[in-house]
Amino acid sequence: MRVLVIDDQEKILEYVEDLLLDISPEIEVVSRTSWESTEPLLEKDPEFDMILLDVVIPDVDGVRIYQHLKEDYDLGQNVTFMTGASLIGIILERPYIRKPFSEKEITELVMEFCPEDEINKLF
């Protein structure tokens, strides 16, 4: 399973990566801090099973990044937003988790997005 995490805060990226690797060392985690650093990666290899995307990112906000993922890479269905805001779900097309989130919440997402043929390898 490949997971892309996009957040401008390094601490959040490290936290999410640690949570994912605690679930299973078989999860490949790719972290990026901006759209500028994400786009070249997607041009080379856009195959991600799950994408965790922060809503508030300085260079291009998460909603605009989501539009790129959806329209340019057909990855919209793989996105879950991460946010600290409480009512943000009203404006988002995709599910979201509130920061700070738990290992249980991340595990549930992994189970939701993991390809069926890989589930037994991870759990």
pLDDT tens figures, 25-65: 999 999 999 999 999 999 999 999 999 999 989 888 898 99
> How far is Cα 11 from Cα 7, in angstroms, rounded to an integer?
9
Domain boundaries, the chain: 2-122
Q: What percent of the chain has pLDDT over 90?
A: 74
The CATH fold assigned to 2-122 is Rossmann fold (3.40.50)
Mean pLDDT of the chain: 92
Contact 8, 58 (CB under 8 A): yes
| Confidence category of residue 91, pLDDT binned at 50, 70, 90 | low
List the one residue out of 76, 80, 113 whose CA is nearest residue 96: 80
